[in-house]
């Protein structure tokens, strides 16, 4: 099956014919003693495979943690993973650093010999795209929302500085791999025996959110259109996100994978907490504006009752109010608020 799609030349392996469990044992041993590369077995250091879980047949997810991106975790905080078909693997988000991308790639090659054909980015945020470069090779097509390339280009100068200051990562322009395949409306990717149905959404969490539905397992990947546990972060449109949340349940799925939260959740029940929070925010901001309150008053007063429901609440809630306040001020007559600074690390 490996020959059905082009693939990069295989990395030299010290013992390619060995059974995988034994290879895994060797890899673990190599980590203890400094890596096989250092012993002269291979010129390529072997990345430690990322911990993954098979949540449905051929669907693998690595669970992120609810942490702020920092130099210790390098922003490796999002749920990322891959789907294995008969002749193609599709990666869904690549992680918060090139190293995490390499570890995800190691997890894929440890799991299957089927080649990687697609790397799908659910949106522009660093914790979802900074592993992209690890996958760049002939035969791999990058896939994203039609607005993703513009978002990458606009944010790259700021993100490069932020990566160094906040994450301790030295990046350059090549780390932002824009999509080869852009999704304007919908796009189907045939992996062999299963199809991924991609939808490009209007402005919601960001202006470049993509969802992925796997037909074989009826698993829905929502990226950061769905936050669970980690407080939702608005970097697109509060009202647009609420509209998307109302439309998403028309997708019939057996399970959903959020961008941040448990690796799978019940569908569409999983949307309830995020919907409640965002609806309450919109309601309270409108009330504050009707009462002629300032943005500072709104930021101090609104939504404190939600604090116990969400992790990282104090890190993002006030900014969500500021973002929603600016948007709703423009609710009528103009539906498009002015472009804002992308701000600090957005998950």
Site of interaction with Zn ion (CB under 5 A): 125, 224, 347
**Cβ 123 to Zn ion shortest distance, Å:** 6
Place of tokens 């037909």: 215
Cβ of residue 151: shortest distance to Zn ion, in angstroms? 11
14 or 229: whose CB is closer to Zn ion? 229
Q: Min. distance of Cβ 113 from Zn ion in angstroms? A: 32
CB of 221 to Zn ion, least distance (A): 13
Nearest-angstrom CA–CA distance, 162 and 158 = 6
Among 214, 210, 212, 211, CA closest to 194: 214
Q: Which tokens go with 162?
A: 């932020």
Gap between the Cα atoms of 310 and 137, Å rounded = 39
Shortest reach from residue 128's CB to Zn ion, in Å: 6
CB of 115 or CB of 126, closer to Zn ion = 126
Structure-token match 């390098």, residue found: 74
Tokens 């029940």 sit on residue:
269
CB 135 to Zn ion: min, Å: 19
Residue 205 CB partners (closer than 8 Å, separation 6+): 123, 223, 224, 225, 232, 233, 234, 235, 236, 241
Burial tier of 6 (Cβ tally within 10 Å: 0-12, 13-18, 19+): exposed
Q: Which is nearer to Zn ion, 49 or 347 (CB)?
A: 347
Query: Which CB atom, from 175 or from 224, has the smaller least distance to Zn ion?
Result: 224
Q: Which is nearer to Zn ion, 226 or 298 (CB)?
A: 226
Q: Could you tell me if residue 227 is left (phi over 0), alpha (psi between -120 and 50 degrees) or otherwise beta? A: beta
Phi, psi of 149 (to 5 degrees): -60, -40
| 268 φ/ψ angles, rounded to the nearest 5 degrees | -95, 10
- Would you say 5 or 228 has its CB closer to Zn ion? 228
Residue 148 · residue 208 · CB < 8 Å: yes
């Amino acid at each position: 099956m490996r020959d059905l799609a082009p693939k990069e030349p295989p990395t030299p392996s010290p013992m390619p014919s060995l059974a995988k469990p034994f290879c895994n044992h060797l890899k673990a041993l190599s980590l203890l003693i400094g890596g096989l590369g250092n012993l002269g077995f291979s010129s390529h250091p072997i990345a430690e495979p990322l911990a993954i879980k098979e949540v449905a047949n051929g669907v693998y997810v690595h669970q992120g943690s609810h942490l702020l991106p920092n130099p210790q975790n390098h922003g490796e905080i999002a749920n990322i993973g891959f789907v294995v078909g008969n002749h193609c693997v599709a990666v869904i988000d690549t992680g918060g650093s090139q190293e995490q991308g390499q570890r995800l790639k190691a997890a894929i090659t440890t799991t299957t010999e089927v080649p990687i054909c697609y790397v799908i980015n659910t949106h522009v945020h660093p914790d979802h795209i900074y592993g992209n470069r690890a996958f760049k090779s002939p035969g791999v097509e990058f896939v994203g929302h039609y607005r993703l390339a513009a978002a990458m280009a606009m944010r790259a100068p700021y993100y490069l500085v932020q990566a160094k200051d906040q994450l301790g990562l030295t990046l350059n322009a090549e780390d932002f791999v824009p999509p080869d395949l852009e999704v304007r409306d919908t796009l189907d990717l045939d992996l062999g025996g299963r199809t991924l149905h991609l939808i490009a959404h209007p402005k919601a969490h960001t202006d470049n959110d993509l969802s992925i539905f796997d037909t074989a397992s009826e698993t829905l990947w929502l990226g950061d259109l769905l936050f669970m546990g980690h407080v939702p972060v608005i970097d697109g449109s509060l009202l647009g996100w609420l509209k998307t949340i109302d439309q998403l349940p028309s997708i019939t799925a057996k399970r959903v994978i959020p961008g941040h939260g448990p690796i799978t959740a019940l569908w569409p029940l999983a949307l309830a907490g995020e919907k409640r929070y965002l609806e309450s925010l919109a309601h309270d901001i409108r009330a504050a504006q009707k009462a002629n309150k300032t943005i500072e008053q709104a930021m101090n007063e609104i939504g404190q009752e939600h604090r116990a429901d969400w992790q990282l609440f104090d890190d993002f809630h006030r900014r969500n109010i500021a973002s929603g306040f600016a948007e709703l001020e423009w609710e009528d007559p103009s539906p498009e608020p002015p472009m804002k600074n992308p701000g600090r690390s957005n998950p």
